Amino acid sequence: MKKLLTRLFLLVILIILIYGLSYAWRTFPIISGYGAKNLCSCAYISRRPSQSVIANELGSFPLSLGAFYLDLSDSSAYGEVFGMASRKAIYRKGLGCTLISELTEEEVRSQEYKLSDSSMVLSDTLEWPLGTATSDSVMQFIDYKVLNDAIDRAFLEPDKEHLQNTRAVVVIHDGKLVMEQYADGFDATTPQMGWSMTKSVTNALIALLIKDGKLHLYQPAPLEQWKTEGDPRGTITIDHLLRMSSGLEWEEEYAGPSTATNMLFKQSDMGSFASSFPLANPPDTKWYYSSGTSNILSMIIRQSVGNEYYAFAYRRLFNKLGMTSAVLEPDASGTYVGSSYMYATPRDWARFGLLYLNDGVWNGERILPEGWVKYSSTPTPGAGHGQYGAHFWLNAGAVGNPADRKYPDAPTDIFNLNGFEGQCVFIVPSKKAVIVRLGLTKRGNFDFNEFLKDVLSALPD
């Protein structure tokens, strides 16, 4: 009996050891890849000290298991965990940082790209958003004391166990920048990561191609791998992908290895990876938030634009809006990571929000197709709380019960860009407002409902 118990004990230990090694084999490259990529981007795009990035972005468990450092000699960053699973991310001017995955560094660095013919410089005499100047003039009917108090509260830390970590707030009303505030180490010129706010930029790029007649919203997505006779994925449309209703099998989890984390930190061609999954449900029968579908759309954008791909977003969108700080980052295959990787200053994120507040028109020019903003901000049927449209989050509430919504004290017409760790651009048509809030915030540590209620109470209807 004693021998049997000993063998059972050893078997349990062996199983635990095998599971631990298997988990480490799958997880450590994600930790080191996440750290290398984010250290690279924060250091070379945001121009932040590496010590600050390591202490803040990479300082909590499980990232604290890793070791991360910069190599200034070739503008790169490295990550590893206990001396294992070493990963490297490289910086390329104009493209930001790319995590080396599957392909060699030489293959990635040999890729040719051209962003635009000239660098854009905004006038320092024209007032924002057409230039960089800001006005001290007081706008009528705005309660500046209420607004200032609301923004101040967003930066306070009353609970040391649940830090808000707000880094920037910008408030736009009636097309004018009325107030902004930044945390120490950040200012109006610091590009900040948008994470999944990038999805809404992907929405705009799709809109431009639909306007050009190169894509069609309600026709099957033009992917050769889905055109095989009998493949049920061949019925998936651009509309289904934008509304996160494609039905494709996916796992949007970030606590450990998943299809989402494997895509972002192990795959060279994220769009192809996401498009390889089978259907879990018939298209348009179930809503499920998926970063994979955004990267499928990004791949479709690249295929549709062709040789001008890298310049397309800048020539047709960013330069039009004066978003001089915007940087879209590609995966190792060279396709922009349309789900997650874009940097811009808070003011430039506000410019993007203002385009949608103005129904896709900028300085008298229609940028987005007529009706596109309404389409993007209309609840998709599968989102039971009216919380999602087409690559934008909404506050519409449940059908027949609009009180059942994410921000119950904010207007139902709000639609917003939303990213990991509390990145948000709120577009509020009923208040003619755009509100940007950026930070490094664990879920639940910042009360967005209270923040919106307080800020919007200072603005006229």
Number of domains in the chain: 2
- The answer to pTM > 0.85 is yes
Question: Rounded CA gap, 144 and 178, in Å?
Answer: 9
Distances (CA, A) of 385 to 243, 250, 256: 14, 21, 27
**99 strand-pairing partners:** 89
Query: What does 375-404 look like in DSSP terms, one character per residue?
Result: HHTSPPTT-TTS-BSSSSEE---BTTBTTS
Q: Are 393 and 416 in contact (CB under 8 A)?
A: yes
207-216's contacts with Cβ under 8 Å and 24+ in sequence apart are 207/360, 207/368, 207/369, 207/372, 208/312, 208/316, 208/317, 208/367, 208/368, 209/301, 209/304, 209/305, 210/238, 210/369, 210/372, 211/368, 211/369, 214/304, 214/305, 215/300, 215/304
pLDDT of residue 19: 62
Is 130 a member of any domain?
A: no
Structure tokens, 91: 């910086």
Question: pLDDT at position 27, please?
Answer: 93
- 117 within a domain of the structure (yes/no): no
Same structural domain, 96 and 164: no
* Residue 382 lies inside a defined structural domain of this protein: yes
Bond prior to 369 in cis (omega within 30° of 0) = no
Whether the CB-CB separation of 77 and 40 falls below 8 Å is answered with: yes
**How far is it, in rounded angstroms, from Cα 28 to Cα 86?**
9
d(Cα 177, Cα 349) in Å, to the nearest integer?
A: 12
- Taking the C-alpha atoms of residue 310 and residue 460, their distance in angstroms, rounded to an integer, is 41
Extended beta strands in 117-185, E state:
166-173, 176-182
Dist. CA 372–CA 210, nearest whole Å? 10
pLDDT confidence of residue 20: 64
Question: Tokens 């019925």 sit at which residue?
Answer: 235
**Residue 245 φ then ψ, to 5°:** -125, 30
* Structural domain includes residue 111: no
412 neighbors 342 (Cβ within 8 angstroms): no
Whether residues 96 and 215 share a domain: the answer is: no
My answer on whether 291 and 177 are in the same domain is yes
Asked whether residue 83 is domain-assigned, the answer is yes
Q: What is the pLDDT of residue 121?
A: 86
Query: Cα–Cα distance between 37 and 264 in angstroms, integer?
Result: 10
CB-hemisphere CA count at 13 Å for 133? Answer: 8
| Distance, CA of 46 to CA of 327 (rounded, Å) | 10
Q: Does 85 share its domain with 205?
A: no
**Domain contains 126:** no
Rounded Cα distance, 235 and 245, in Å: 12
Pick the last residue of a domain from 67, 100, 133: 100
Same domain, 237 and 372: yes
Distance between start and end Cα atoms, the chain: 80
* Assigned domain for 342 exists: yes
Question: CA-CA distance, 435 to 453, in Å (whole number)?
Answer: 12
The reported pLDDT for the residue numbered 118 is 58
Residues 92 and 160 grouped into a single domain: no
Distances (CA, A) of 194 to 94, 118, 248, 265, 420: 17, 25, 25, 17, 8
Distance CA 207, CA 201 (A): 10
- Quote the CA–CA distance of 185 and 50 in Å, as a whole number: 12
Cβ-proximal residues to 102 (8 Å cutoff; 6+ apart), any chain: 266, 267, 268, 269, 332
Q: CA torsion, points 199, 205, 207, 211, in degrees to nearest 10?
A: 180
69 and 159 in a single domain? The answer is no
Same domain, 299 and 428: yes
Asked if 31 and 62 count as a contact pair (C-beta separation under 8 A), the reply is yes
* Euclidean distance between CA atoms 26 and 81, whole angstroms: 12
Domain-terminating residue out of 100, 115, 132:
100
Check which CATH number belongs to the domain holding 275 and give it: 3.40.710.10
Q: Which domain holds residue 238?
A: 144-457
Q: Which of 100, 130, 156 is the last residue of a domain?
A: 100
Residues 183, 273, single domain; the answer is yes
Q: Do 65 and 157 lie in a common domain?
A: no
Asked whether residue 134 is assigned to any structural domain, the reply reads no
Mind listing the pLDDT tens digit of every residue in the chain (461 residues)?
A: 777 777 776 766 766 676 666 666 689 999 999 999 999 999 999 999 999 999 999 999 899 999 999 999 999 999 999 999 999 999 999 999 999 999 999 999 999 998 876 577 898 899 999 999 988 888 989 999 999 999 999 999 999 999 999 999 999 999 999 999 999 999 999 999 999 999 999 999 999 999 999 999 999 999 999 999 899 999 999 999 999 999 999 999 998 899 999 999 999 999 999 999 999 999 999 999 999 999 999 999 999 999 999 999 999 999 999 999 999 999 999 999 999 999 999 999 999 999 999 999 999 999 999 999 999 999 999 999 999 999 999 999 999 999 999 999 999 999 999 999 999 999 999 999 999 999 999 999 999 999 999 999 999 98
Residue written as token pair 């945390």: 183
d(CA 176, CA 184): 24
Residue 393 shares a structural domain with residue 313: yes
262 and 169 in a single domain? The answer is yes
- Cα 214–chain centre separation: 25
